[in-house]
Structure 1
Amino acid sequence: MNESNRAFGEALVKSLVGERGHIPITRALLDINAELAGTRTTGAPYNIYQLLKHMSYWQEFLLTYLEGGKPELPSSVMDSWPSAERPESEEDWESIVQSFLQGVERACEIARTSQLDEILEKFPTETKAGILRNIASHNSYHLGEIVLLRRMNGAWPPPGGGYPL
């Protein structure tokens, strides 16, 4: 792996975990409880739970490509949103958060160890870097919505403050 690839991989890692541009994703999520996650905010089309389930859906979808598979495209983008309004329990919510964060770490490991300009066999119009960028930008977009919903529900900033490190 050349130095340029390594530097770009580290830049992707920073985008995936959230650095400088916004609060690290773990700090924005870890103190949310199931009750807050399932709270419907007036005027918002979805809640934190639904956002994180949607983010998890697409993150797993794209990680499948990065790990050599070919996921089945949903018949509609609406299929990537959960029908449930809230997590079943506190344990269920914690499991959803941990699974999502483990997916972020898998993406980071790929960014650190892969040849990023490699074309994907099962997605020949895309590179590993392109898919990782897509994961980072999609997660960042929806993380902003989660932060906004937290603010609207009086649950911001998280412990330690809401500023990027």
Structure 2
Amino acid sequence: MMAQPDQSTSDSNDAVRKQLIALLTGSNAHQSFDDAVQDLPAEIRGVKPDKLPYSIWQLVDHIRIAQWDILEFSRDSTHESPPWPSGYWTKELAPEDETAWQRALEQIRQDRDAFVALLNDPSRDLYAPFEHGDGQNLLREAMLIADHNAYHVGEIIIIRRLLDAWKK
């Protein structure tokens, strides 16, 4: 018979889950993804400022792909990641059209929400290594998404500032 966790362990796990969800969905020490792309003029989505490697579109699409990959890795042991780095970065500077832009934003939000659902699932141990991979666990993957997205959100905001399109 498996030992039941004591109440303090359960409370501690709940607190960690809540903090991870706040990290993924909020904007404590940084702007949120939604803030970074809010009211972004369509005409600058594909602009790559001088001496910078990416446009805002390329960063948004990279966030989409990387977050999707982390989500799928976390919930599907048979998931195969795209090749690095070519599978994570679009070569196109701008989205094909408004529909492509909106689709990317929606997938980022849906995948974030799906990852939050994993964190909210009490049957998922935050600390137990996945049966696949090389020691990753749900806690690590949540922090990886948050860290990765915050880094690139900062880049989006820098580009917006350089293009005089950031008023916050």
Shared topology, TM-score over 0.5? yes
Structure possessing the higher radius of gyration over alpha carbons: 2
Q: Which amino acid aligns with 1:82?
A: T
1:148 maps to 2:158: yes
Q: Residues 127 and 19 of structure 1: is their aligned pair in 2 closer, same or farther, counting only changes over 3 Å?
A: same
Whether the aligned pair in 2 keeps the contact of 1:54 and 1:80 (CA below 8 Å) is yes
Q: Match of 1:64?
A: 72
Count how many residue pairs are aligned between Structure 1 and Structure 2: 158
Q: Match of 1:11?
A: 19
1:28 maps to 2:36: yes
Q: CA RMSD in A?
A: 1.8
Whether the aligned pair in 2 keeps the contact of 1:34 and 1:89 (CA below 8 Å) is no
Structure with a larger share of its residues in strand: 1
Distance in 1, matches of 2:41 and 2:99, equals 10
Q: Which residue among 111, 115, 118 is the counterpart of 2:119?
A: 111
Whether the aligned pair in 2 keeps the contact of 1:87 and 1:93 (CA below 8 Å) is yes
* SS of corresponding position for 1:28: helix
Q: Which residue among 34, 38, 46 is the counterpart of 1:38?
A: 46
Provide the TM-score with structure 2 as the length reference: 0.85
The offset of 1:20, in angstroms, is 1.5
**Percent sequence identity over matched residues?**
27
* Structure 1: tracts of 5 or more residues without a match: none
Distance in 1, matches of 2:77 and 2:42, equals 32
Provide the TM-score with structure 1 as the length reference: 0.87
Q: Residues 25 and 98 of structure 1: is their aligned pair in 2 closer, same or farther, counting only changes over 3 Å?
A: same
* Cα shift readout 1:100-133 (whole Å, capped 9, x = no counterpart): 1111111222222232113212224111111111
Q: Choose between structure 1 and 2 for higher RCO, CA contacts under 8 A separated by at least 6 residues.
A: 1
1:100 maps to 2:108: yes
